[in-house]
Amino acid sequence: MNIIFGGRKMRNSLLLLAFILIACTSNAQENKKNELQFPQDTVINFEKSVLFFPGGREAQDNFYAKLDSLKKDSLSNVNIWHVGGSHVQGGSFPNRLRDNFQKFGGEGERGFVFPRQLAGTNEDKSIRMTAEGNWYAPMLTKTSKEEKPRYGITGFAARCDSTASIGLNTNPKNRKQAWTFKQIRLLGYSSSEKVYPELYVGNKKCKHVYDSLTASYFYDLPKVTDSVRIDFVIPEGEYFVFNGLQPLTGKKGVNYFASGVNGARVTAWSDQCADLERDLQLVNPDLVIFGLGINDSACDSLTFSPDKFKNGYRRLIQKVHAVSPDCAMIFITNNDSYRYVKGGMEYNYNADEVRVAMIELAAEYNAGVWDLYGVMGERGSVHTWLEVGYISKDQLHFSPKGYRRIADLLFEAILADFENPEEDLERITVEPMKN
């Protein structure tokens, strides 16, 4: 059976069945849909906001069993890794998802942080990081005349000398629910054993333990804090490469790790991050949320290759499975969008192709799919989402409000798939978003 979908032939009728099942499943389940919070929610196709599995779903159900255990006793950890491009780097999307998952109980870890100002790119505004001194921090996704440092799970790397220092404040806005930590891990490597980082809480210098398995420096802090400063001991002619920090509470809950780099294609993570597989040991994900595809498809329709796209994902999944072979996976399809071209923006016609490729990958790896493209209304829907303020003016990225909205929609879809409507479960709800 050959089906024309998005301009290409789809040979596997299972894929068509998966799309048919979206509507069937959403009607059959007593699915707790997001009600219209605002008038602009009329642009959302709620019927498409479900998880579907074109293959098996055993890994997803195992993930739910761990969530259920956490919900009951809050004595365990559940680990989620969300990887993507600018949709993830900006912070609004993953931070809202992180907050939502905290409703399962406990106080999970926040993940990795990096002073992105060093790479000349946008920061996550929920924290404050400072950096001084001499640094070389080329973007993972851009070419450089000099030799690049090695990248890992943060997707960032910065080489420095003895003039360098870094500051971290995880509570810059003095929030009521401050995020503090009792331990911290520093990711990085040096030119020799003579080079090492020095970490301070206030004026107190803290000793580190070097972990050779993860090539990181671990610090037990003298007190719970929200701020640290790092200096570097670097003799002349030596250097240190800094890859990020992992503040740790030591408490149980949902640990939500977000890795995003502007402009990242699948191959940026699968092929250009030499230390990714090693760093994934620090996550050991129970669920991976894949949000890569928008940059891979930023080309004309004849140039985009679904096979190359899927092969890149296969190499990335191989790295994930090397660390966590039984983890669940969810693919997020592309949003309807425009793409950057010389002289302006041009409509991206490849969202249909990306969706087909992701469904095929989900069938191959027994993973789930959340069809953001369908939730928006498919082709041309970017215009209506722009009109109501959920998409930014470039018609590629969401507005902060739009990112929070799609985060709630994805979380609601996961909840609906997780909670059995036939059982009398205490429902977890998403707090209404401020307009």
Task: Give tens-digit pLDDT for 388-429.
Answer: 999 999 999 999 999 999 999 999 999 999 985 334 344 455
Nearest to residue 91, comparing CAs of 159, 172, 163?
172
CATH class of 116-248: mainly beta
Residue 69 pLDDT: 87
Q: H or E stretch including 435? A: none
pTM of the model: 0.90
* Mean pLDDT value across residues 13-25: 43
Q: Reduced to 3 states, what is the DSSP secondary structure of residue 221?
A: strand
Backbone φ and ψ for 169, nearest 5 degrees, come out as: -130, 115
Residue 20 pLDDT: 38
Which residues face 253 on adjacent strands?
Answer: 77, 106
**Rounded distance, CA 48 to CA 54, Å?**
15
Residue 429 pLDDT: 55
**Rounded distance, CA 98 to CA 199, Å?**
27
**Tell me: domain 3-108+252-418, CATH 1.10.287.70, correct?**
no
Q: H or E stretch including 331? A: strand 328-332
What is the sign of the dihedral through the CA atoms of 309, 315, 319 and 320? Answer: positive
* Mean pLDDT value across residues 85-94: 96
* Mean pLDDT value across residues 307-312: 98
- Beta-carbon count within 10 A of 146 CB: 8
Nearest to residue 201, comparing CAs of 184, 178, 179, 217?
184
Residue 4 pLDDT: 30
Lowest mean pLDDT among 20-24, 309-313, 399-403: 20-24
Domains of the chain by residue range:
3-108+252-418, 116-248
- Beta strands 287-291 and 328-332, pairing class: parallel
Confidence of residue 26 (pLDDT cuts 50, 70, 90): very low
Backbone φ and ψ for 64, nearest 5 degrees, come out as: -65, -35
What are the tens digits of pLDDT across the range 315-373? Answer: 999 999 999 999 999 999 999 999 999 989 999 999 999 999 999 999 999 999 999 99
